Chains A and B, each alone.
Chain A
Amino acid sequence: MKVDVRITGIGGQGILTMAKILGSALVREGKYATLIQNFDTFISGGESTADMRVSDQPIEYPVFEKADITVFMAKKTYPRYINKVKEGGIVVINSDVIDEEPKGNFTVIKVPASSIARKLGNVRASNMVMLGALVAKLSLANPEVIKELIREKFKDKADLNIKAFEEGMKIGRGI
Chain B
Amino acid sequence: MKPGKYFESGAWAAAMGALASGATFFSYYPIEPATDIAEEMVRYGPKNGLLVFEAEDEISALGAAIGASWAGAKAFTSTSGPGFSLMQEHVSYAAMTETPVVLINGMREGPSTGQATKAAQQDVMQTKWGGHGDYEVIVYAPYNTQEMFDLTVKAFNQAERWRVPAMVMADKMTILLMEEVVIPEKVEVVNRKRPKVPPEQFEPFKPEEDLVPPMPRFGDGYRVHVTGVTHNEKGVPVSDDPWVHHKLVKRLCDKIRKNRDKIVEYEVFGDEDPEVLIFAYGFPARSAKEAIKLARSKGMKAALFRPKTLWPFPDKELKEIATKAKKVIVVEWNYGQMLNEVLKVVPEEKVSFVYRIGEIPIPPESILEEGGVRI
Query: Interface on A for B, CB 8 Å cutoff?
Result: 19-20, 23-24, 26-28, 32-37, 41, 59-63
Contact = CB atoms under 8 A, between A and B. Distances in A.
A60 B177 contact: no
A36 B364 CA distance: 18
B133 interface: no
Contact of B178 (A28, A34, A41, A63): A34
B296 interface: no
B363 A59 contact: no
Contacts of A62: 177, 179, 286
B7 A24 contact: yes
Contact of A36 (B117, B176, B287, B289): B176
Interface of B: 5-7, 116-117, 173, 176-180, 286-287, 289-290, 293, 361, 363-364
A27 B287 contact: no
Given A20-B178, A23-B178, A35-B177, A61 B5 contact: no
Contacts of A63: 287, 361, 363
A60 B287 contact: yes
Given A60-B293, A61-B290, A62-B286, A32 B177 contact: no
Nearest to A27: B7
A36 B177 CA distance: 5
A53 to B, nearest CB: 9
Given A60-B293, A61-B364, A37 B286 contact: no
Q: For chain B, what secondary structure do more than half of its interface residues adopt (helix, strand, loop), or is it mixed?
A: mixed
Contacts of B289: 60-61
Contacts of A28: 5, 7
A44 B338 CA distance: 39
A34 to B, nearest CB: 5
A175 to B, nearest CB: 28
A64 B179 CA distance: 16
Contacts of B290: 60-61
A28 B117 CA distance: 30
A140 B41 CA distance: 33
A33 B5 CA distance: 13
Contacts of B286: 60-62
A37 B290 CA distance: 21
8 contacts: A33-B178, A33-B179, A35-B177, A60-B289, A61-B287, A61-B289, A61-B364, A63-B287
A62 B178 CA distance: 10
A61 B178 contact: no
Given A60-B287, A61-B364, A37 B7 contact: no
Nearest to A61: B290
Contacts of B117: 41
A32 B178 contact: no
Nearest to B180: A27
Q: Which of B6, B116, B178, B286 has the largest count of A CB atoms less than 10 A from its CB? A: B178
Nearest to B364: A61
A61 B179 CA distance: 12
Contact of B7 (A33, A41, A60, A61): A33
A14 B293 CA distance: 36
Contact of A59 (B176, B179, B361): B179
A4 to B, nearest CB: 13
Contacts of B116: 41
B179 A32 contact: yes
A62 B180 CA distance: 13
Given A28-B7, A33-B178, A34-B177, 12 more contacts: A24-B6, A24-B7, A27-B5, A27-B180, A32-B179, A32-B180, A34-B179, A35-B178, A37-B176, A61-B286, A61-B363, A62-B286
